[in-house]
Amino acid sequence: MGRLFGTDGVRGRANADLTPELTLAVAVAAAQTLAEQDRSHPPLAVVGRDTRASGEMLEAAVVAGLTSAGANVIRVGVLPTPGVAYLVGEAKADFGVMLSASHNPMPDNGIKLFAAGGHKLPDEVEMRIEAAVEANGAAGWQRPTGAGVGRVHDLLDGAEHYVQHLVGTVPHRLDGLKIVVDCANGAAAEVAPVAYQEAGAEVISIHAEPDGLNINDECGSNHLDALQAAVLEHGADLGIAHDGDADRCVAVAADGTEVDGDQIMAILALAMRDAGTLTQDTLVATVMSNLGLRLAMSAEGIRLIETKVGDRYVLEELRASGYALGGEQSGHVVLPAYATTGDGILTGLHLMSRVAATGRSLAELAAVVTKLPQVLINVPVADRTVGAGAPAVLGAVERAEAELGETGRVLLRPSGTEPLVRVMVEAPTVRVAQDVAERIAVEVRNASPVPA
């Protein structure tokens, strides 16, 4: 069996790659693995989902799998991924299961697992769950019967608890702000507008009518056109966009310009530094963050620590070192004082709180980061290792880095899921970045050509 888990759980086309049978098997293995250290009581799991139609089917499979393994289930229905993580901690549950494919299109779905406290699983635990799936399938497993079968409880006010938690974290109320929120026809639809209103903002919602089929459909954090138009139409102070499970947040300024995760992190880092809550004046981001973020933070006396791509690696660094802020350019932002994972609504609240507290526009605050032009070329290869590690490729990268000096950078990264090598170059101009990236891409293609 190949690896089940990718960079963010188990993901695939619902009812094709991600079948009810596989989902049930993962649920059983999760119950066996995540609750095996304490058998003094039945394991307790929190289960939530986003608005995808397939989530109803897969939720049934998860609940069946968990209860058949003797776990009790708190079913919370449609809720953002970070809301499920929060309730895992609040309920003192052994683990949590979220059914979502995040920003992916509707036909996809996924299984995200949380350990006790609402934390994402380390690689080692995911591998144990994979081994349990395989072992159960090969040899079967001993099922509980009678009173040993798990029970199911529906938590009807989980969203209210989550909203109260979010609003309670806001450093400065949002009174006087007029905002537009794009809910991506996803899990944010019932939660984000309420949270923003309760924090004091005047809220206009778009794409907040999920029907099971329209999640992420030309809306949300990956499709900002409608939000930009709505901000301009309504004369709003800013716009906030979430993805399907609301663990991302990107923004739009009053003039319609995008404010991405790098700029949001910079704004929050300065706010937290001023408040004395930015631990060791340090921000954690991935290697994909724009060089402009590093330069801006350096100018403000803030240290930037880089991790591998993926919010899980940001989370690991935050937990290991006790830092207070981290995230990704895509809009996954983590505030460990209030959340165990990236939380788009929490991020939106704290971003708008900074706008309200300073009286400055979002565009003015975002201008602290001058983003360098960035060019990304995905090069198809026969072998990712050869394509990224051949001497000719490494030589081309070394020459490019010497040419750019401190005015740019090169990032060469084999894809974790596709036969591609990603060549990313930042430079003072788009033309220079494009030229350097294409030169390196040629060497990558020559090192590992795809058979005709």
User: Which residues make up each annotated binding site for Mg(2+)?
Assistant: 102, 243, 245, 247
Binding residues: 102, 243, 245, 247
Helix (H, G, I), strand (E, B) or coil at 13: strand
Q: Which two tokens stand for residue 397?
A: 């990268």
The strand ranges marked E within 15-172 are 44-49, 72-78, 95-99, 108-115, 152-154
Q: Are strands 44-49 and 95-99 parallel, antiparallel or unpaired?
A: parallel
Based on the residue annotation, tell me whether 102 is a catalytic residue of this protein. Answer: yes
Helix (H) or strand (E) holding 437: helix 430-447
Q: Is 202 helix (H, G, I), strand (E, B) or coil?
A: strand
Instruction: To the nearest 10°, report the CA torsion of 18, 24, 26, 30.
Output: 150
What pairs with residue 238 in β-bridges? Answer: 179, 253
Is residue 384 within 8 A of residue 420, CB to CB? The reply is yes
DSSP letter at 118? Answer: G
Active-site pick, 102, 221, 289, 330: 102
Contact (Cβ atoms closer than 8 angstroms) between residue 381 and residue 420: yes
The bridge status of strand 303-307 relative to strand 282-286 is parallel
With both helix axes pointing from N to C terminus, report the angle between 291-299 and 261-275 in degrees, rounded to the nearest 10: 20
E strands along 396-448, which residues?
409-414, 420-426
d(CA 69, CA 63): 10
**CA count, 13 A, side-chain hemisphere, 184:** 35
The first and second tokens of residue 129, run together, are 């769950």
The residues facing 99 across adjacent strands are: 49, 111
Cα 178 to Cα 144: distance, rounded to the nearest angstrom: 55
What residues does 376 pair with on adjacent strands? 424
User: Could you count the other beta carbons within 10 Å of the beta carbon of residue 394?
Assistant: 15
Residue 186: burial class (beta carbons within 10 Å; 0-12, 13-18, 19+): buried
Pick from 93, 96, 45: nearest CA to 73:
45
Whether 419 contacts 9, CB under 8 Å: no
Catalytic residues: 102
